[in-house]
């Protein structure tokens, strides 16, 4: 039995395998998927000597616990959280050695939502359409982690980084999303567009990898008909019948029938991945 594997001791609330996703398959009804915070994924990979695209674990709020079968280097980044190896405190945001059979404990996020756990050599599950990412909407890729699951690891390709500190951005106290109005902003009143840009929305606890849902003032429709399904893109701000905007994230559907009032700049979506429920949201028109 190979020692290039790890055993899941505690899967946590939602822990999935993620890389940079599978773009280019929307015509097949397959969303991009991939890490919601790709900058954290790339940096965690760099710390353990991996290319930036290697597959890692993405945890949600409650962390996870892992026991590797062989000695390896690990880095935990993204949302800050306590890290323990063999019961001893270990560094967050830096490469750490874990001996064969030692328990790696990735604790609950103290700020933010999603932590990223990179292993030297990367997670080597079977790719689907060129990616190892778990897609919660389509069901492609490995299933979300469950206690007792075993994941294979690849072979390390480079040495771990030597760093005194890494530039991890802090989770936002206010989520600022730059948007361009359209393509269906004409389906909303001028007052609705002012409402969207005025603030007053918050991140809803119902948010997930498909979309960041908001609470707050409803956007008033000017057109009350039905749209035929049309293509959806990453960052689309779709408005369902309750009038509360939903920002589409990595596992979003590729088509939809609710009007899209605006689209968020892709660069801003990593912060959306780390915005905890209750975080104020401000949509800023991008001119």
Identify the pLDDT of residue 160: 74
Model confidence, pTM: 0.94
The per-residue pLDDT of the chain, averaged, comes to 94
Beta bridge partners of 131: 128
- The conformation of residue 110, written as its DSSP 8-state character, comes to S
d(CA 250, CA 11): 21
- Asked which of 43-52, 92-101, 167-176 is least confident by mean pLDDT, the reply is 167-176
Assess contact for 78 and 40: CB atoms under 8 A. yes
Identify the pLDDT of residue 189: 96
Identify the pLDDT of residue 1: 45
Assess contact for 100 and 69: CB atoms under 8 A. yes
- The DSSP secondary structure of 144-171, one letter per residue, reads PP-TT-EEEB----SPPP--S---PPPP
pLDDT tens for 10-35 read: 999 999 999 999 999 988 889 999 99
Assess contact for 5 and 152: CB atoms under 8 A. yes
Domain with CATH 2.40.100.10 in the chain: 175-285
Q: H helices within the chain, ranges in order?
A: 38-47, 190-197, 269-273
Domain covering 175-285: architecture: Beta Barrel (2.40)
Identify the pLDDT of residue 225: 82
Name the token pair of 1: 């039995």
Res. 61 pLDDT band, cuts 50 70 90: very high
CB count in 10 Å sphere of residue 161? 16
Rounded average pLDDT over 142-161: 92
Task: For residue 266, give every residue at least 6 positions away whose Cβ sits within 8 Å of its Cβ, in sequence order, or none.
Answer: 234, 235
- The conformation of residue 123, written as its DSSP 8-state character, comes to B
């Amino acid at each position: 039995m190979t020692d290039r594997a790890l055993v899941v001791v505690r899967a946590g609330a939602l822990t999935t395998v993620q890389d940079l996703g599978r773009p280019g398959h929307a015509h097949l009804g397959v969303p991009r998927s991939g890490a919601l915070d790709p900058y954290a994924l790339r940096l965690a990979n760099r710390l353990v000597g991996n290319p930036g695209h290697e597959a890692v674990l993405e945890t949600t709020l409650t962390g996870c616990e892992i026991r590797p079968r062989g000695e390896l280097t690990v880095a935990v980044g993204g949302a800050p959280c306590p890290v323990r190896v063999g019961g001893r405190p270990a560094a967050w945001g830096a490469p750490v050695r874990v001996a064969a059979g030692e328990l790696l404990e990735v604790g609950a996020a103290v700020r933010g939502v999603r932590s990223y756990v990179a292993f030297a050599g990367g997670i080597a599950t079977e790719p689907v359409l060129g990616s190892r990412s778990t897609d919660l909407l389509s069901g492609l890729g490995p299933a979300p982690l469950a206690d007792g699951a075993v994941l294979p690891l690849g072979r390390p390709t480079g040495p771990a980084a030597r760093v005194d500190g890494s530039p991890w951005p802090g989770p936002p106290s206010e989520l600022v999303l730059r948007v361009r109005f359209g393509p269906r902003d004409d389906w909303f009143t001028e007052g609705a567009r002012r409402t969207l840009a005025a603030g007053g929305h918050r991140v809803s606890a119902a948010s997930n990898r498909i979309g960041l849902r908001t609470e707050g003032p409803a956007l008033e429709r000017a057109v009350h008909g039905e749209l035929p399904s049309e293509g959806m893109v990453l960052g689309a701000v779709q408005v369902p019948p309750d009038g509360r905007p939903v920002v589409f994230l990595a596992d979003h559907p590729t088509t939809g029938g609710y009007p899209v009032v605006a689209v968020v700049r892709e660069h801003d979506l990593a912060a959306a991945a780390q915005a905890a429920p209750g975080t104020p949201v401000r949509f800023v028109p991008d001119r």
